[in-house]
Amino acid sequence: MLAPLILLQIVALPWLALGDQRIINGNTVNIKDAPWYASIIVNSKLKCGGAIISKNYILTAAKCVDGYSARSIQVRLGTSSCGTSGSIAGICKVKVHSQYSSWRFDNNLALLKTCELLNTTDEIKPIERADKVPDDNSRANVTGCGGRSGNFLDLILDLRISSGIEEKCFQLPVQLHGTQVRILSQKQCAADWKVIPFYLLKGISDLTICTKSPGKGACSTDRGSPLVIDNKLVGILSRAGCSIKPDVYANILGHTNWLDSNTKD
């Protein structure tokens, strides 16, 4: 009985609570406006978001799939619904970034190779990668479904400062949501995450992009969701701040060589 009591005490602390697990203060999104979006399913449970980057590759966060076999992973495509309809694609290969570390912000990327080539439609299309790093304070859009891993330890690791645990923390959106956020400077991002002066050791660097907007942002298992500017992929969500701290994304442009070398087949 000791372990359950300890967990209950952790959750009950007034300054720690499970944050909302989906896009915060967002609007519903029609998949035709984000046809590159993919829901990552692990062991039959919605876990993360991802982006279609070619006819046979999905890009997501390494945290979502690290340690799982390809046969345990599927992707749901071509639907605005977070749990039904659309099409399901099997995964035959998982490539986690070789420099990924669970305690760092950077290199949190993984490639999922589909077993068959995807048929492109108005609802299923690869997204073009951005060819320049966005300026600070520029606008970007993040889209996500906010799935839940089902792993209580994952939830404990994503504890957020909040006013308390609310019922909404355990609700999942029925439909894809999105919101507009602003690019935050690297220095301010490090300060807000309280990792100065060691932010390079934690991985807030040119390999990451941060965003923050009052009352808006991604949360918990929106991880892996795409950050987009002008219909081009800028980042993949690595760590969410749940509108309290900055959201940290893998900088797609900073990983060009890794992406190119691992998507040749």
Q: How confident is the model at residue 82 (pLDDT cuts 50, 70, 90)?
A: confident
Let me know the angle formed at the C-alpha of 121 by 83 and 108, rounded to the nearest 5 degrees.
Answer: 55
Token look-up 């035959």 returns 92
- Asked whether 55 and 19 are in contact (CB, 8 A), the reply is no
* Residue 6 belongs to a domain: no
Q: Report the C-alpha gap between 74 and 46 in whole angstroms.
A: 9
Residue 9 lies in a domain: no
Residue 1 lies in a domain: no
Side chain identity at residue 36, one-letter code:
W
Q: Is residue 257 part of a domain?
A: yes
Alpha helices, DSSP H, located in 69-211: 152-157, 186-192, 199-202
Write out pLDDT tens, residues 87-129.
Answer: 999 999 999 999 999 888 899 999 999 999 999 999 999 999 9
In a domain, 2, yes or no: no
The phi, psi pair for 111, rounded to 5°, reads -105, 135
Cα–Cα distances in Å, from 135 out to 115, 183, 216, 235, 249? 37, 7, 19, 13, 15
In a domain, 5, yes or no: no
* pLDDT-derived band at 243, boundaries 50, 70, 90: confident
Has this prediction a pTM greater than 0.85?
no
Lowest mean pLDDT among 42-56, 173-187, 194-208, 236-250: 194-208
| Structural domain of 208 | 14-262
Residue 68 lies in a domain: yes
Specify the number of domains making up the chain.
1
- Asked if residue 22 belongs to a domain, the reply is yes
Residue 228 — very low, low, confident or very high, per pLDDT cuts 50/70/90? very high
- CA quadruple 82, 88, 85, 220: dihedral, nearest 10: 0
- For residue 23, what is the domain's CATH number? 2.40.10.10
- The residues near 116 (Cβ < 8 Å, ≥ 6 apart) are 56, 89, 90
Q: What is the largest CA-CA distance in the chain?
A: 54
